[in-house]
Homo-oligomer: A and B are copies of this chain.
Amino acid sequence: MSSTNLLDNIIAQLKLSKKETSKQQKILETAIAMFAEKGYANTSTSEIAKAAGVAEGTIFRHYGTKENLLLSVILPFLKESVPVFAREVIDEFSPQNFSSFEDFLRALIRNRMSFIRENREIFQIVIKEFLYHEELRRELIPLFKNNVLSFINKNLDLYKQRGDIADIPNGTLMKMLFTFIGSYFSVRFILTDEEDSLNDEGEIEDLIRFIMKGVGNE
């Protein structure tokens, strides 16, 4: 991961990937599976090529560098998960659609959970590389803040007015909410074996209960 501007790479990348051949598809699928399983640094391009059934040169013909292959894996996911997430939240999750903050929370968590479940491998990659690469963090955190947080920020005020949530500063609220929900997803989809998590619905309710009321006795 070089220090060049990530957003420039995003733009350049998106221009390149207009049309995808079947070989490109196969390369991407294989790269996703292997990066998720062994991590970016521990996966070699020759392994990917062999597993994808293409020549090593073909990878470089399409993606130029290994880093760019990683971006080609991550960026569509982020494109989907950040701005579309933002729009979805705005469109579907506006307060008038929900009778309570708890309902909003439930819908939000279920929505994101099913999205991540379908993209579990890429989610693993993003989280892992996010920890490893400071520049990635430097780029993505503002992107996230600008797109999502401002909207949530506004809505929190509405729920506060309704009396659904306590009078805690929005900054603190959001930090708590995202830390906890984000880490819940991370534990759920990275550290937990699939067979250990049969009762997602029950867990989501536990999670919501915790977020709403904490552990204390009212």
Contacts and interface: CB of A to CB of B under 8 A. Distances in A.
Size band of the interface chain A makes with B: 35 or more
B216 A164 contact: yes
A182 to B, nearest CB: 7
A176 B215 contact: yes
Interface in A201-215: 206-207, 209-215
Given A180-B179, A207-B176, A215 B132 contact: no
A100 to B, nearest CB: 10
Given A180-B179, A180-B180, A182-B183, A168 B206 contact: yes
Interface of A: 38-39, 41-42, 101-102, 127-128, 131-132, 137, 163-166, 168, 172-173, 175-177, 179-180, 182-184, 186-187, 190-191, 206-207, 209-218
